[in-house]
Structure 1
Amino acid sequence: MSTLLDMVRAGRAEAVPGLVKPLTAAERRTELAALKALRAELRGWEWGRWRERRSIGCALVVAGAGCLTGAAATAAWIGARDLRESFTLPHGLLLDVLADRDPGWLGDVAHRLAGRASTATLDYRLIAGMVRLAGCQVPTTDAFVHGWAEATPSHGRLLPALRADPDVRIMVPRLFETAELPGPLGWQNDPDDPHHWPSVLTVLAEEGVVERRVLVDAAVARLLRGGRPGELTFFLRLLHRLTLTVAEERERTADWIGMAADGPSAVAGHAQGVLGRLALSGALPARSLADLSASVLFRPEKKLVRAQLVLLGKVLRADRGAAGELLPVVAEAFGHEDTGVQERALKLVARHLPALDDDPRSEVVRAAALLSPVHRARAGEVFGELPVADEAPYEEILPPAPEPVRLAPASVDLAELVEEVAALIASPDGGMPAFERALDGLVRHAYQDRVALVRALRPALAGCWWLEDDERHDRDRWFSRETCRLEVVAAALLDRISTRTLQAHTREKTVGSCAHSALIGVIDARLREAAYLVHVGPPPFLLATPAWETGALDAEVLVERLREYQRLGAVPGPADFAQALLRVDRGGDPATAGAAAALGTPEGDRLAAWLTADGAPVPALRPMAEPPRPARAGDAVAAAWPAQALTGKAAAFAAGLRPWRKEKEQEKQEKTERAELLAVRREFPVAFAWLGHPGARAVPRCYHWDGMRDGNWTAVLPQDREALAARLLTEAMSSARDDQRGGTWWLPLLAEGGGLAGRCLHRGVAYGLGARHPQDRLSAVDALLVLAARGELAGPMLGEELAALVISGDVKINRLADAARTAAATGAYGTVASVLLPALPALLAPDPAAPESAASASAASESAASESAAQGASRSVSARPGLGEILSVAADCVERRGGAEEIPGLPELAGRGGTSQVITQAARLLAAIRQGSDHSRPKMAEDGPKRNRSNLNPSVTNRS
């Protein structure tokens, strides 16, 4: 061993340059061979030696860079991932050991390192030092530019540092051309901070260090291109600090128009302000303003739309000759979904209509047919006789009801099966159908020719860790905790798990404390059972393999499989047969139960009882009239401590949450539930013990909420989606109540499933419609439309659930309104109306949590002589926040669909007077309901429940 290698093994990186520099070329080649051998040795070290590996790796990087002679090899050595693991490169030592190299060679290595996107940012100081030694041109790759920005001093030192940087003229323009903006440019929050990048760049532009036009053009180009909100904020602040002149703004008119039409909200608002100044100064032609307005007036941001109408009004007042160009565009807003925008547009048109010629006037009058019925009377006063809209009878548009798809059989080709198994092991999220086909295929091929299957599997799964003969890997212990889906079966086939471990876990209870653990336990029980059977003697096939892609299994198919088992003398696996029972449709042909009983086997008798009245659903599968509402995390405090352990206030708090003295009825119910639980345990394997628990096994929080979702969960109970919904309800609740993401993924799957669509599933949809994130709301909308298309949507029931969740604070009205508007926009206006109208009576009730204003309190006291106390009290309490939005959606649905009974409390709300959104939309909805009906006597609130009772009946099913 050489002295250099000794120092490297000792981790003495600081001693390496002095040992490498005196070496000749031949000596460096000799040392390099030993260094490469040491590098290979380090790769095999166990993770526990990370400290030693890190110190040796640091010295090894310096030594190898000094011994290598090729530029490409040196750059690859310095940037190698295995050498620089968990430590920062010793830039000073590397520059020292490479300082005597040829400048051209140094420049080549520097540019190669700058081209490595994964490491160039971290290696900025090394690359910059090599560029300085070589005297070459500075690299301009994205990663290097990011490194330059991060290495530039801040906190008051930014301006002096950039003034002194010789590369600032090259690097600053590149800041705006990188795919992503360097992080330091957006760190400060104060737009007027003099030490912030926008302020410093503005000073550099004023001093001529960087060109002002370059900054302006780059900022405008990035805003036009779009990007992340934080990045766009930086460019907006830069333009704010640069304070563009009128000439600079006019020169980029086309860019501002593009931003206002298609840019993000903040960018569009800035561009709209610039264009407004240009339009009022006469620098923006009326034709360009009209083209711009045609796009802006139909943006979803109401603030931008209203601002554009204000701008158009100012331009029309200043230039009446522009009415011919602008008013037809304003009239297009008559079709806007917001009736408030329609009203503003109608007022603007009415004010400037006399200035129009005949042709533009007729165009505006034709557009008036788009106005909401609530504005038709005013439009008639403005335009005279309105054109009759050519409207066809309303027709509900719903997506086609999903057709059931049969599950493709397992592949008979061994090579194809092995390819599917390898793909699912590499990416387990392949879906339930692929998982079930591959699992059944493994069992079938193991029964037919296990030797051939093992021979084909071993090379295909060569990358799996459990195939390595490493004493550090305790495979039995790992697979006793995790099945890793098909891996446990493949590992059993390849004899990588002991028979003792597999046999022990086929009898072990795997149910956890939450619903997710229960569902996972069923899947894992089947997998471990299949792994044990293929290890000791595989069955011909699996009984529980679904016949349909929903996870369902036809009873006739299961009878035929049991008959084939009987012929072959095969013994069904308990977990496999239990899962098959749960997948069978119990509402099929009664003769199937007789065929099952005729088999004369215990499994046949069990199936026959399951399909008849003798096999009544286990407690977990019974429909619940009122599912328990998921508790919040703090609601379980009392259950965590015995009463004797609590004193004082804590004892009183616990007593309020959980009464300690149980009633006799409750004790009797619990005794019955315990008996049923024991019966389930006798008839099902231990992994299915949770079937004996009625109600939902939902906990306030569990780790499965952290983005974990599994399509196989819905295939555990494909015929009992109501029971499954009760267990997954907590996920949907978390999406609305706790603003979690991804908790509604199961709603569309269950909407396409089998069994009763009862209150649990409808409550899940209700939570989903009020979810925090739009993607989660879309999942709930999909489920809503699928249920409606299948005729399984109970609109009044869903409306009741929505009202209850809004009142409890679990669902916010504005989110619900957005989801309802999205569903209605598909053409399902009748479906949405059938849900919202039953919810409105409860939502229209005064919100006792809203603050009472002084004016309303005074009005309530003064009205005591002329009004009843109940009316005074209702007037003194504010309406719920966001109620106007839901009323707007409901009014839109009723206007399009027509036909609805009056809603209790709506006439009183509409009759309060005022111009608020709530009052306006209440009047609009009331007008839509009364359209074409004789309402000579006003509808009184006390008449509402009697007239509206049918709409609140949960048993009524909407089949729009």
Structure 2
Amino acid sequence: MTDPFEFLVRGDISAAVDAVTGLDDQGRRSFADGLVAHVRRRRDNWWWNNEATALAVAAVGCLPTAATAAELLGRRNVSLRAADAGLVVQVARTRGVPWLAELAYRLADRLRRDDPMDGWGFVAELLTAEKAATPTGDQFVEGWLALMAWPPEWQRPVPLVDRLRADVFLDALVPRLFEVDGAGTRMSFDEFMTDEKLALPRALARLAGEGRLDRTMLLDGCVSRLLRGDRPAALRAFVTLHALLEPTASEVDRHRGDYLRLLADAPGSVASMAQKTLRALDGVEVEGLLDASRAVLVRPDKAVVRAQLGWLDQLARRHPDRATEIAEVIATAVDHPAADVRDRAGTLAARHGHVVAPRVVVGAVGDDLPPPAGPLPAPPAITDPDELAEEAASLLGGPTTASGLERVLDAVVRLAGGDRARLKDALLPVLRRHRAGAEEHPWDPCCLCGLLGGVLHAAADPVEGGVRRGRWAAMLAALRRRTPGGPSLDPRVPPPHRLLRARLAEIGDRVGPPQHPGLLAAPTTANGAIDPEVLYERLTRLGERGAWEMDLTQALLRLPARVDEPLAARAAALGTPAGNRLAGWLRAGGLPTPDQRVVTLPRSEHRQGYYWGYEHLPRQRTHVLVSPPEGVDDPFGLLTVPAGSVDSYVGGAALLWPAVLPGYRGLVAAYALPDIASGADQDLSGGAAILPLLAECGGDGGPAVDLALAYGLGARHESDRVAAVDALLMLAAAGDLDAPAVGAHLGALAAVGDLTLTRTLQPLRDAAAAGAPLSTWRLLAAALPALLAAPKAPRGTPDLLTLAAETAGAAGARIDVPGLAEVAARGGSSRLVTEARRLAAALDQ
């Protein structure tokens, strides 16, 4: 039977108009019921372009209320980005729909938070046609901003200020810019045609100068937004707008208390703006300034603190009767983390009558870190289908963790051999809700969505397993390299992830009756490792039943990389192929140690065609090449890490690899190195999250771990730098940290500009404060020679020299730093020379 609504899927707009034209009330109700049922039935269909227009025409032409139309058109699989709103308005006019404006408001409330431009233009056209009031919800404001940054092609030659001047939404939405959290990030775009920086604040200031916008509203809005705070990047546009408005003395005086609050509490760029604004104002109340200064002088941003010290010095000169009181406030900075700030504060405090007691430094040789606690035990096995459904929902609805994935896979294997009907009842609602297994992500070769969903479907319904069995068999055959001319391996998928995908394929292919005791590879500790005795017991219980090949392979890779001859003899006595394989593995001590070589790879040549973002790629990147020892077979490619490109990135997939190879820390680090490096040289986030997981692994680290820590310490995002510090401290506590090697890599990368040195200061200071001053000092001592030998010392070198002097004194260990004496002997009083002399003096004590 032909579906009467098939014209919608074809995107036949004319058919949609004809279908809703001339319907009576009964026909319209019948058509509406069928339309809603059709859309729900086609939940996997993506409605966009002509399909979305046809759907919108049908919805407005037959549905009874704005609420039901918004429910249909606001579905996640409906994109109104390119829908023809004008045609929808015509249909509404023909029918006499009274609720078109209400529909626009409801759709405005449903705009996607991650992409508010999708449907914004459609909503805006409906509002304009109805001459309705402007909605001011957060998503509508952000969609408007996105359109200003990326206008339609026909508007791109028009300067932003002219587009704003003629915009019907301008007056209603501009005041909301100061109220929507995060709006400042979208406001920081450049002029489309001229690339003028921060075009929107400049255009707003120009419109205020013309009288088109209320200047007082803009200035008050800036101050209000800065007081409420936001991420520093989101406040940049408001700082720029504030400067462009050039507040008068009376306007500054009106907000004097607000500026003092910003000076004390706001992010560095905002505090600096408030500081400059107040310094330009005559007659700032001394008491208020001193109260704010006590908070300012303990801020970590040195530029603000140094400027405040200079301001207080001038204030003490102008008010000699209060010089001692001001000097006491200045003395607040004598405990500042930066040595040059401490020195300056002590000098100024003494100049104005306050003597600062000398700092007493108590030296402590070595690090003071608690011993490593060892990996936690793995969470208990899942024993009930309902519990499995809960864990599967958590896994499908959030980030895939190694621990959660292994628990679900082990439970699937055990429970699918029992009450299949109960398992199906528990799992299928979860799979439908998350659309698990509906699609792979072709842009992400490491995506596990389809495979994991397929395994869960196969566990719940054997028919589903049969549908996917051919694809799973092809994946396994490709990995085993037993099918010449067959499916090839995707070079974008690293071998650890390839093995994980093969395990999922094998489980999907084999899951179901008869009853199975569970996966051999189920970890016994939270880091993915398996106790060798436990694996031997599992093989004993397995008896004559053959072990699954990939399952046993993964189980062996999770054993500690050491020789165990007594257990090997017991495994061989089992007399089974799996027992013999375990025995051989234990006698060999695991995987052979691969060869590692550090290389620096240039950015590939840009030959032809459009390569978005090519100019933002790093010009080079340092990698670790890994290859198997001569004469050693590498059947799964696990001992081979080739030279990758500087734009390779697998995202969160790398977080699963430490549990694949928990005894081979250096090998996993080599595979994950491109992701970790991307956080430092491409400013991507999340790559260094793997570092604490690597620290929990066993085995040698080698140059890959050392290089990964160096890149992690220089990551753009704070969360990545924190992860690097955590890993550094864990390795130091376990005695596995090669601090000089990490420092040598850090210095070499920073000296040639492959790493931003200033980012490393705070994480290294945190590591020293957390109980690792000796490790930090050894790291710095190895990093400084390359930095001091550079033609121009990288920005941040003086700060590292300061920290080196502090940690050298606290650790009580003398290490020669090549090049230090030459820099310290230079003439002048630059910060580089001054801090070099400070370190040299600390080493002479």
| Same fold? TM cut 0.5 | yes
Q: Please point out which of 73, 82, 87 is paired with 1:87.
A: 82
Alignment correspondent of 1:198? 205
- What is aligned with 1:446? 416
Quote how far apart the aligned CAs of 1:518 are: 0.6
- Give CA-to-partner distance per residue, 1:608-649, whole Å, 9 cap, x none: 23223xx2554xx3154x534363344999xxxxxxxxxxxx
Question: Which residue is equivalent to 2:571?
Answer: 596
Greater Cα shift, 442-451 or 287-296: 442-451
Q: 2:227 aligns with which of 202, 221, 224?
A: 224
Q: Partner residue of 1:250?
A: 253
What residue number does 1:924 align with?
838
Runs of at least 5 residues in structure 1 that lack an aligned partner in the other structure? 354-360, 371-388, 638-669, 682-687, 851-877, 932-960
Contact 2:104 2:123 in 1 (8 A): no
**For the structure 1 residues 123 and 180, does the alpha-carbon distance in structure 2 shift closer, same or farther, using more than 3 Å as the test?**
farther
Q: How far is the alpha carbon of 1:436 from its aligned partner?
A: 1.4
**CA contact 1:60–1:83 (8 Å) conserved in 2:** no
CA apart distance, 1:892: 1.5
Are the counterparts in 1 of residues 729 and 767 from structure 2 also a CA contact under 8 Å?
Answer: yes
**Corresponding residue of 2:330:** 330
Query: In the aligned structure 2, how far is the partner of 1:7 from the partner of 1:418?
Result: 38
Identity %: 33
- The 1:756–1:109 alpha-carbon spacing in structure 2 relative to 1, beyond 3 Å, is closer
- Asked if residue 267 in structure 1 is aligned to residue 270 in structure 2, the reply is yes
Checking the alignment, whether the CA contact within 8 Å between 1:397 and 1:827 is kept in structure 2 is yes
Q: Is the aligned partner of 1:676 residue 2:632?
A: yes
Asked if 1:518 corresponds to 2:495, the answer is yes
- 2:538 aligned counterpart, secondary structure: helix
For the 8 Å contact 1:261–1:268, the answer to whether it is kept is: yes
Does 2:832 match 1:887? no
Aligned residue-pair number = 789
Q: 1:573 to 1:702 in 2, by over 3 A?
A: farther
Of 704, 713, 717, which residue of structure 1 is paired with 2:657?
713
Structure 2: 5+ residue stretches without partners: 113-118, 481-487, 608-626
The partner residue of 1:508 within 478, 484, 489 is: 478
**1:631 paired residue among 593, 601, 607:** 601
Cα contact 1:502–1:532 (8 A) shared by 2: yes
Kept in 1, the 8 Å contact 2:774–2:807? The answer is yes
Q: Confirm or deny that 1:585 pairs with 2:560.
A: yes
Q: 1:580 to 1:57 in 2, by over 3 A?
A: closer
What TM-score, normalized to structure 1? 0.72
**Distance (whole Å) between structure 2 residues aligned to residue 576 and residue 454 of structure 1:** 24
Amino acid at match of 1:676: V
> Within the alignment, does 1:294 sit opposite 2:294 as a pair?
yes
- Counterpart of 2:829 in structure 1 is 915
Q: Aligned with 1:631: secondary structure?
A: strand
The alpha-carbon deviation at position 828 of structure 1 amounts to 2.1
Pairing partner for 1:406 from 377, 381, 386: 377
Per-residue CA distance 1:59-113 (angstroms, 9 max, x = gap): 3245237xx4x5655666776777764533424762784499699x777667656
1:196 partner SS = helix
**Cα gap change, 1:242 to 1:487, in 2 (>3 Å):** closer
Secondary structure of 2:808 counterpart: helix
Query: Is the contact made by 1:514 and 1:702 (CA closer than 8 Å) also made in structure 2?
Result: no
Which deviations, in whole Å up to 9, do the C-alpha atoms of 1:219-241 show, x marking residues without a partner?
Answer: 21112122355764443444445
Which amino acid is 2:249 matched to?
V
Alignment of 1:857-896 (within 5 A): 879=793, 882-896=796-810
Contact 2:85-2:122 at 8 Å conserved across structures: no
**Which letter maps to 1:369?**
P
CA positional deviation for 1:315? 1.4
Alpha-carbon deviation of 1:772? 4.0
SS of 1:676 mapped into structure 2: coil
CA spacing shift, 1:433–1:485, aligned 2, 3 Å: farther
CA distance in 2: counterparts of 1:276 and 1:480, whole angstroms = 55
The amino acid of 1:551's aligned partner reads: G
Q: SS state of the match for residue 709, structure 1?
A: helix
Following TM superposition, by how much is the alpha carbon of 1:449 offset from its aligned partner in structure 2, in angstroms? Answer: 4.5
Verify the 8 A CA contact 1:550 1:715 in the aligned structure 2: yes
In the TM superposition, residue 325 of structure 1 has moved relative to its aligned partner by 2.7
* 1:259 aligned partner, one-letter code: L
Q: Deviation of residue 672 (structure 1)?
A: 7.8
Shift of 1:840: 3.5
Q: 1:333 to 1:514 in 2, by over 3 A?
A: farther
Residue of structure 2 in register with 1:700 after alignment: 645
- Please say which of residues 728-737 and 546-555 is displaced more in the overlay: 728-737
In the alignment, which of 26, 30, 40 is matched to residue 27 of structure 2?
30
State the distance in 1 between where 2:778 and 2:629 align.
39
Aligned match of 1:750: 694
CA contact (8 A) 2:437 2:449 kept: no
1:704-753 residue CA offsets vs partner (Å, 9 max, x unmatched): x1424343311221112123223333433444455544332322111111
Conservation of the 8 A alpha-carbon contact between 2:440 and 2:447? no
In structure 2, give the amino acid aligned to 1:917: R
Summarize the alignment of residues 138-149 of structure 1 with structure 2, pairs less than 5 Å apart.
Answer: 140-142=136-138
CA contact (8 A) 2:19 2:58 kept: no
- Are residue 492 (structure 1) and residue 458 (structure 2) matched? yes
Are the structure 2 counterparts of residues 455 and 80 from structure 1 closer, same or farther at C-alpha, using a change threshold of 3 Å? Answer: closer
Cα deviation, residue 296, structure 1 = 2.0
Tell me if structure 1 keeps the 8 A contact 2:665–2:697: yes
**Cα distance 1:33–1:85, how it changes in 2: closer, same or farther (>3 A)?**
farther
CA distance in 1 between partners of 2:668 and 2:750 (Å):
24
Indicate whether 1:546 and 2:517 are aligned: no
State the match for 2:610 in structure 1. none
Contact 2:689 2:723 in 1 (8 A): yes
Rounded to whole Å, the distance in 2 between the matches of 1:488 and 1:914 is: 70
Q: What displacement does 1:880 show?
A: 5.5
CA–CA separation in structure 2 for the residues paired with 1:448 and 1:61? 47
**1:560 partnered with 2:537:** yes
CA contact (8 A) 2:12 2:51 kept: no
Residues of 1 paired with 2:604 and 2:570: CA distance? 52
For residues 30-66 of structure 1, the C-alpha deviation after alignment (integer angstroms, 9 at most, x for no partner) is 334325424644665686997763453353245237x
Which deviations, in whole Å up to 9, do the C-alpha atoms of 1:452-475 show, x marking residues without a partner? Answer: 54454445434476899xxxx999
* Aligned counterparts, 1:35-434, within 5 A: 35-38=32-35, 40-41=37-38, 53-54=51-52, 56-64=54-62, 68=64, 70=65, 72-73=67-68, 85-91=80-86, 94=89, 97-98=92-93, 122-131=122-131, 140-142=136-138, 173-179=175-181, 181=183, 188=191, 189=196, 196-204=203-211, 212-227=215-230, 232-278=235-281, 281-282=282-283, 284-353=284-353, 361=354, 364-365=355-356, 368-370=357-359, 389=360, 391=362, 396-398=367-369, 401-427=372-398, 429-434=399-404
Instruction: State the secondary structure of the residue aligned to 1:409.
Output: coil
Q: State how far apart, in whole Å, the 1-side matches of 2:259 and 2:589 are.
A: 69
1:344 Cα deviation from its structure 2 partner: 2.3
Separation in structure 2 between the aligned mates of residue 59 and residue 117 of structure 1, nearest angstrom:
19
Deviation of 1:253 after TM superposition, in Å, equals 1.4
Letter in 1 for 2:465: I
Shift in CA distance, 90/200, structure 1 to aligned 2, threshold 3 Å? same
The one-letter code sitting in structure 2 at the alignment partner of 1:768 is G
**Structure 1 position 918, deviation (Å):** 1.6
Alpha carbons 1:829, 1:893 under 8 Å: kept: yes
**Residue 599 of structure 1, CA deviation:** 2.1
Question: Are residues 109 and 525 of structure 1, via their aligned partners in 2, closer, same or farther at CA, if it must alter by over 3 Å?
Answer: closer
CA distance in 2, matches of 1:737, 1:108: 48
Which letter does structure 1 place at the counterpart of 2:409? Answer: L
**Alignment partner of 1:622 is 2:593:** yes
Write the deviation string for residues 565-586 of structure 1: whole angstroms up to 9, x where unpaired. Answer: 22xx311112222222221124
- Give the corresponding residue for 1:765: 709
After superposition, residues 635-650 of structure 1 pair within 5 angstroms as none
